[in-house]
Amino acid sequence: MTPSAKVTLVRPSVGLEEPKESFASKQKKENPALPLAKSATFTLKQIDVEKIASKVGEAVALIPAGYEQFSLYSYSFTADKSGQIKQNMSINATKVGEGSQQSGRMITTNFYTFNFTVDAAGKVKAVE
């Protein structure tokens, strides 16, 4: 069997230098990273996404009076070592009457973040 084509790599010598060893590469050789512990995983089928809206509504009801314009900032699912799925969310809100301020071309709005978690029973709790 004969090769169909011959490939020759040409490397120009002008402007290219051999790779130099950096501080980071030296550290990696001297202290190889320890293998990371495997964390529990879950599939999307295990998450009931239809309940997210109701959980956000429950969280908004827990926010004290004096806040308005609620917006969901983040909603995350994580698995702990035992495989239990944890739900965390953050809701942004503005104080009543505070509003936005314009300074030149910039508009500034103060948002206050409230953090919540959903326990194993499905009850929403505020995180202090």
**Could you give the 3-state DSSP secondary structure of residue 49?**
helix
> What was the pLDDT predicted at 124?
94
Our CA angle for 80, 38, 36, nearest 5°, is 120
**Could you give the 3-state DSSP secondary structure of residue 38?**
coil
CA 88 – CA 86 distance, rounded (Å):
7
- Of 91, 52, 53, 89, the closest CA to residue 69 belongs to 91
- Sign of the four-CA dihedral 8, 14, 20, 22: negative
- Tell me which H or E stretch contains 108: strand 106-109
Looking at per-residue confidence, does 7 or 68 come out higher?
Answer: 68
pTM for the predicted model, two decimal places: 0.65
Tell me the pLDDT tens digit for each residue of 22-80: 666 665 555 555 555 566 777 888 888 888 999 999 999 999 999 999 999 999 998 88
Tell me the pLDDT tens digit for each residue of 111-121: 999 999 999 88
Exposure letters 56-95 (e unless 16+ CB within 10 A, then b) = bebbbeebeeebeebeeeebeeeeeeeeeeebebbbbbbe
> What was the pLDDT predicted at 27?
58
Tracing tokens 């001297």 back to the chain, one arrives at 30
> What was the pLDDT predicted at 100?
85
Count of H helices and E strands in the chain?
Answer: 2, 6
